[in-house]
Every structure is written in structure tokens, then in C-alpha cells.
Amino acid sequence: MTPLVGDGSSTVNSVDRTHTNGTIDSATRHDGENTNGHNVTVSKPRFLIIGAGSRGNAYAAAIVRSGLGIVAAVVEPIAFQREQLGQKYIWHDTERTADQEYGDWRGFITAEHERRSIQSELHLASQPGPAEVDGVFVCVRDELHCEVVTALAPLGLHVMCEKPLATTLSDCLSIQQTLTSYPQRIFAIGHVLRYSPHNMLLRHLLLEQTAIGDVLSVEHTEPVGWWHFSHSYVRGQWRKESISAPSLLTKSCHDIDFLLWMLCSPATASGEQKSPAHLPSSVSSAGSLKQFRRSMKPKKAGNATNCLSCPIKESCMYSAPRIYHDRHLAKGNARWPVHIVNPEVESILVSQGLEKAKEVLFATLAEDYDAATTPVQDIESRPWFGRCVWESDNDVCDDQVVTFEWDDRPETGRGAKTAIFHMIAQTLSQCERRGRVYGTSGEISYDSKSITIHDFTTNQTTRHNPEVPKNSHHGGGDDGLTECFVKAVAAVKGGKMAVLEAQQSFLGCDLDDVIRSHAAVFAAEEARREKKVVDWSEWWRRNVERPLAEKH
């Protein structure tokens, strides 16, 4: 069986993910028996979750569902959220201990240094040391990724960092430089689109089976969703470039990575040798904030700045009570996005009922600020989910197009092509990607559920419907990435693979790939802001190679 791994190898309608020889080695088995029937005692890898928000919970759940690893500890400054994750995934059936929870990631680092010191002393006395973790999932705010990941580097833990890697190119390069200055460990990024069965199959069909010949052009769209964009990028924490980053980075960096994975990365990558990548020749972009600005505010809304006091709150499509209560809480859903507004609503709904949960939700939605008198730092320090979408301080694009062009590269065996990416907020579909790929002998259309191939030579149309795991977001990508990362860590921990081999065999990409796809986002943003076409090679030398050389 051909394995489903991050480099695009795939089997139709399969969700099994093993390394490149298609077997499950003893380090990845969780039943204590290897494929030869001999008993082995390789413990499951143990993981720390830093950040108990929606992404931290998603990865913790995926670890537990996989059965391949253990959620050993959580770091979260908000006690309620720390308690929730711990109860679900850590101490629900075991005695709660101090080394399972931390209020601050610095506290964990301090405790880990102390633990290792004690372990060293106990080792000399032939006694077992305290429990440890093998890897960490970094799910803190985007702007903290660089600080957290670089601080963790000396510990030698395997790291999965939620996307984006960092909010500036400089911080991305700092992470790369820091991690490469220590012995190599497994490193993964939250580019979950690489790991869904749908996208793995799509890449397999395009690059390995060449189902439509040579790829000539791609159109790929990310429909964010009309109310989803208002939640996260108008009212939420990613609404403003100065406190977060451009929406192309915070929302769509894994779509840019998806395109480069399809069109730039080699078809396969294993061992220490990788075929040369087919790099773009140019990048251009156009986009702006079109709808969510004060000039678009309905006249009937008057001077209202908060939905609860707005005269059109019953009819406005962006009314916060309609979105968070009517669409979600009133139907019994206190999870996302309601728990982002107030994480306590979910438990209140269970323990005290709907009316009390509604009361608490509405109290949060009623919170507002006066732009003329409230300090800017207070406004920018938090989301305002009841704020009028036309009176917010948001400035990120709600509509953007990015174009990549490739020249012929005979040394890579891949020809000239074009890729167009479109991120659009005002859509009925929510994050259900769709697109078309045009080739020399056929055409592929895809959405989040199916892949349709039309072969020009035979005039035949074939439809694929990859299996999507239940309870996993991003078309199974959350579970896919988590499983690949955990298996890579297990293979290294069990001594079955060196780090480099496990990195490529299970994850199919490395830190260089991560830097390249993030750099492409920053290049596109430069093109958009300056209204120009960016020459990729020149831009890369100026913004990546030169800064790295200067740091050395």
C-alpha cells in the first residue's frame, strides 16, 4: 500500500498514514507488539500543549483520537481554559499532578530544567526521574511564536508550531537560525492542508500519476465565509495588521503553501537527498479592504457602535446577537465561535442552562469602547465581538488575489505555469476550498469533498470522493498533521529512524519548505502594497539570503 504522507504519496479513500515502506514499525505501534509478533516496550510519546484555545484543543483531541501519543501537560494562563483542556485530555481518568499544568510557558521551561537536573542526579543513583515530554504543540498568539519556539529550542524537544510560523519575515528567519543551531529535532508547522486525504490524493493525481499531463495553470479559491471573516478578521484578534499581520498570512498562508506544495515542491522527497524545487519566477498581488469600513455602514444604523444598542440589530446580517446567539447558542452550540467570545459559556450552558448562558454571552457582547477616549492600547489588546463591523479598527484585506508565475526549468523537469489564488470574505461557503487545474492533456476541478478529472485524450470523466475523517477539521488535515508528527516523534524516540529520515518520511517537508512558503506570502504583500511585480530570485536574495548571511 502506498502511504499517505505529507509529500503527497496517497492511496484513494485511505486515511492510513505510515512511513514510506508502508509498514508500521514498533515505535509507532501503541499496542506493545511489533510487526514480527515480538513484544516491545516503547512508550508512547508524550506532548505538551502550549495554549488551550481552539487550536490547542484541536491538536489535543487529535492526539487522543490517534491513540499514538499522550497529552501529558498543558500551558495556559487562563485558569478556566487550562482546566477545560486538562479535564478532557489529561487528568480526566488519572490523579492530577503539578507537572501536568502551567500558567506560563516560562514556568514550564524553568520546571523542565529543574526536572532534568533532578533526573541526572537520580540517574547516577539508578532511580527513575520525573515524567518528561517528548514534544510540544505551540498554539499561542501568532506574534508570540518566535519568542516561544526559540526559547524552547535549547530543550531539544520536537516542535509543532501552529501557523503562521511568525508574523514577520525577520522572526521566521530567527526561528530558522535558532533551530538549526541546535541538534535537529522534528519540526512541523500547522499547514494542515498538506495532510487531508483530499489534498494528498489531489497531489498524487497531479504529480505522481500526471493525470492531466503537465500542469499549466491553477485557480485556487479560499472562501472565508461572510460571518466567519467578521468574527475573526473584523472583530477578532486578526483584524489589524499592526497588532497581528496581513490576512494573507494569518488566514491564507497554508493556501499559499498548498500551491507551492503542488507546483514548486518536488513530487517526492525522502532520505537526505531532495530533488531541486521548481521556484517561481515572479509574484504579484492585488487586494484591499472593500466592505468592512465606515463608509459602507447602513444609514439606518445611525451612530451605534455596538450591536446590542443598534436600531437594526434584528435585521442586520452582521448583528452579533444573530450570529452568536441565533445561529449558534440558541441551537445548543456553545463551541466555536461562541467559546471564542467567552470560553465559559459552554460549561454554563451545561450546568445552568440556556438562559444563563445567553445572559453571560450578551454581557460579553455588550462590552464596547469609545474611540475618542479609550486608550488605543486598550482597544487593541483584545477582541470586541459585539462591535459594529463598520465601526471597528480593522484594516486587513477582505478580498485579495495573488499570482505566481513559473518559467521553464529543464533541470527540474517541470515547465512554465501560472497559479492564481483568491481569498474572498463575502462567501456562503466557509473555508471550503475550490479550484481548477489545467494541464496539457486534461482538466481537474476540486472542492473540499470531491475531485473530478476530465481526460482530453479519452474524453472520460472520473470522480474521486476521498474519505474525510469524522470530528477532524480542515477535511481531516488536523488529524493528518497530528498523526504524522506524532509518528515521526515516535520513530525517533524508538530509535527506528534518524530525525531527517523521519521528518521527510512522515511530514514530507522541512524548515526550508516552511520558510519558503512564508516568504512567498511576504513577497506577495510587498507586491500588493507597492503595486508591482516581484522578481522572486532577486527578492529572495535581498530578503532571505542577505539577512541570513549578515546574521552569520
Residue % of the chain over a pLDDT of 90: 81
Q: Is residue 213 a contact partner of residue 368, using CB atoms and an 8 Å limit?
A: no
Q: Give bridge partners of residue 424 from the DSSP assignment.
A: 223, 399
Four-residue CA torsion sign, 100, 106, 109, 114: negative
Q: 171 and 51: one domain? A: yes
Q: 344 and 484: one domain? A: no
Can you tell me the distance from the alpha carbon of 408 to that of 406, in angstroms, rounded to the nearest whole number? 7
Q: Which residues span the domain enclosing 152?
A: 46-194+477-512
Q: Cis ω on the peptide bond leading into residue 337 (within 30° of 0)?
A: yes
Residue 92's CB: how many other CB atoms inside 10 A?
Answer: 10
Query: Looking at the domain assignment, is residue 152 inside a domain?
Result: yes
| CATH number reported for the structural domain that contains residue 122 in this entry | 3.40.50.720
Q: 181 and 51: one domain? A: yes
pLDDT of the residue at 551:
77
**Across 230-250, average pLDDT:** 97
392: which 3 cell numbers? 471597528
Query: Looking at the domain assignment, is residue 244 inside a domain?
Result: no
pLDDT of the residue at 503:
97
Q: Is residue 547 a contact partner of residue 305, using CB atoms and an 8 Å limit?
A: no
Query: Looking at the domain assignment, is residue 160 inside a domain?
Result: yes
Query: Looking at the domain assignment, is residue 507 inside a domain?
Result: yes
Query: Looking at the domain assignment, is residue 483 inside a domain?
Result: yes
Q: 187 and 66: one domain? A: yes
Q: Whose CA is closest to 280, among 117, 420, 458?
A: 420
**Across 432-455, average pLDDT:** 97
Helix and strand counts by DSSP (H, E) for the chain: 19, 17
pLDDT at 16 over 70: no
Predicted TM-score of the model (pTM): 0.90
pLDDT of the residue at 119:
84
Of 339, 355, 380, the residue at which a domain comes to its end is: 380
Helix/strand/coil for 406: strand
Residue 273's CB: how many other CB atoms inside 10 A?
Answer: 7
Where are any strands of DSSP class E within 376-484? Answer: 399-406, 417-424, 434-439, 442-446, 451-455, 460-464
Q: Which amino acid is at 439?
A: G
Four-residue CA torsion sign, 433, 58, 147, 160: negative
Query: Looking at the domain assignment, is residue 116 inside a domain?
Result: yes
Q: Is residue 251 a contact partner of residue 222, using CB atoms and an 8 Å limit?
A: yes
Q: 189 and 62: one domain? A: yes
User: How far is the first Cα of the chain from the last one, in angstroms, to the nearest whole number?
Assistant: 45
Can you tell me the distance from the alpha carbon of 335 to that of 58, in angstroms, rounded to the nearest whole number? 12
Q: Give bridge partners of residue 223 from the DSSP assignment.
A: 424
Helix/strand/coil for 399: strand
Query: Looking at the domain assignment, is residue 98 inside a domain?
Result: yes
The dihedral over CA atoms of 434, 231, 477, 486, expressed in degrees to the nearest 10, equals 160
pLDDT digits (tens, 9 = 90+) for 414-428: 899 999 999 999 999
**Across 487-510, average pLDDT:** 96
pLDDT at 28 over 90: no
pLDDT of the residue at 549:
87
Cα-trace Rg, the chain:
24
pLDDT digits (tens, 9 = 90+) for 72-109: 999 999 999 999 999 999 998 778 999 999 999 999 99
Residue 390's CB: how many other CB atoms inside 10 A?
Answer: 20
Query: Looking at the domain assignment, is residue 400 inside a domain?
Result: no
Of 380, 405, 440, the residue at which a domain comes to its end is: 380
pLDDT of the residue at 127:
66
pLDDT digits (tens, 9 = 90+) for 277-309: 899 999 999 999 999 999 999 999 999 999 999
Can you tell me the distance from the alpha carbon of 264 to that of 28, in angstroms, rounded to the nearest whole number? 30
Can you tell me the distance from the alpha carbon of 271 to that of 394, in angstroms, rounded to the nearest whole number? 45
Where are any strands of DSSP class E within 38-83? Answer: 46-50, 70-75
pLDDT digits (tens, 9 = 90+) for 54-76: 999 999 999 999 999 999 999 99
How many domains, in total, are found in the chain?
A: 2
Q: Say which residues have a Cβ less than 8 Å from residue 262's Cβ, sequence separation at least 6.
A: 202, 203, 206, 207, 215, 218, 419
Of 380, 413, 430, the residue at which a domain comes to its end is: 380
Can you tell me the distance from the alpha carbon of 473 to that of 157, in angstroms, rounded to the nearest whole number? 26
**Dihedral pair phi/psi, residue 268, rounded to 5°:** -135, 155
